[in-house]
Amino acid sequence: MKDIITIGDAMITLDPSHKGPMRYSSSFERKAGGAEFNFAIGCSRLGLRTGWISRLGNDEFGRYIFNFARGEGIDMSAVQLMDGYPTSLNFKEVMEDGTGRTFYYRENSPVSTLTEKDLDEAYIKDAKVLHITGVFTAIDCEKNKRLIKRAIEIAKNNGVIVSLDPNIRLKLWSKEQAKETLIEFLPYVDILLTGEDEAEVLFDTSEPTQIVEQSNIRGIETVAIKRGEKGAISYHQGEWCTAKPVPPKKVVDTVGAGDGFDAGFIYGFLEGFPLDKTLRFANTIGSMVVSVYGDNEGLPYLDEVLTQLGEKELIER
C-alpha cells in the first residue's frame, strides 16, 4: 500500500543564471518542477511510499523528468510518456530578495490527454491519502475538474483520506473561477492546507477562526493555514495550535516552500504526531526549503529535518 498519491503536472523549469528581471537573463539551467511533482518528491524524501498520476511528453525533457522522479523513489506506474505532446516548460524570474515570477509554456500539454477514464481505481484505493491541488485543475478547468471529482469519488468510496492545497495561481485562472471550482471539492476534503491569500479567495476572509468555521461547515475536520513569515495555525477536531515561524538561515528562493509544508504536515498526520509537533515539523520544512535555490532542491530528507529540530545529532566529521 502507498502512503500517498497525487495527480498533476510536471515541467522543465528553466532557472536564470543570475537574479533580476528575466528579460536580462541570457542563460538558464534546466531543472524539473511543478506543484504536485514537488509535493511527491517531498513526501518520498521523508520516507513516505509515494505515487504520482501524470502524463509527460515522449521527448528528452519528459524522459528526464520521468527518470528523475523514479530516482527519487516515486512510483511511476501511473505516469505515461505521450507522443505528439511536448513536455511543458516554465521560465523563472528570481529577484535579489528571493521573490520572483514564473512564466508558463503549457500549450498542447501532455496532461491534456489525461481524463477521468484513465484513472485506475485500484491505484487510488491502494493509498492512505489522495492529495490534490488547484494547479492541476486550473490547467484545463472543465476536463480536470471532472477528473479530480472522479478521483475523489474513488477515494471516498474506499476510505482514502483526501487532502487539498488550493494553490491558486492567478496566471492560470481568475479568482472567481478558482473559487467556483474549488468550493465544489471542499465537502469531500478531509485535510485543507491553505495559505491566507487562498483562503481569502475561497472564503472571503483570511481570519483563522472564520477559515476554520467555513471549513467545518463543509465537513473538513483538519485545517492548516500557512502564514509565511508569521508561522502557521492549525485546527483538528476542536484542537487549535499556533506555530511560530522558523527563521531560515537566509531566504534564497520561496518556490516550493508550500509544497514542502504540505509534505511535512501529511507526514506528521500519517505518523500520528500530536498537532503541535505536526505543525512544527511542517513549518521547519518550509523554512529549510526557502534557504535553498530551486523548486525541489531544498526539500529535505527525514534525517535532515530531525537534525534541524534537534531530535538527531549532526555529525560533520
Task: State pLDDT tens for residues 26-42.
Answer: 899 999 999 999 999 99
Q: Which CATH number does the domain 2-8+35-55+121-308 belong to among 3.40.1190.20, 3.40.50.300, 3.40.190.10, 2.30.42.10?
A: 3.40.1190.20
Task: State pLDDT tens for residues 181-211.
Answer: 999 999 999 999 999 999 999 999 999 999 9
Is pTM beyond 0.75? Reply is: yes
Task: State pLDDT tens for residues 93-148.
Answer: 888 876 778 888 988 999 999 999 999 999 999 999 999 999 999 999 999 999 99
Q: Which of 75, 259, 262, 295 is catalytic?
A: 259
Please provide the distance, in angstroms rounded to a whole number, between the alpha carbons at the two ends of the chain: 38
Give catalytic status of residue 259 as yes or no.
Answer: yes
Instruction: Indicate the domain borders of the chain.
Output: 2-8+35-55+121-308
Q: What percent of the chain has pLDDT over 70?
A: 97
User: DSSP alpha helices (H): ranges in the chain?
Assistant: 35-45, 60-71, 121-125, 134-139, 141-157, 175-185, 196-203, 208-217, 257-271, 275-290, 302-308
Mean pLDDT, range 146-154, rounded to an integer: 98
Grid coordinates in use for 103?
512564466
Q: What is the mean pLDDT of the chain?
A: 92
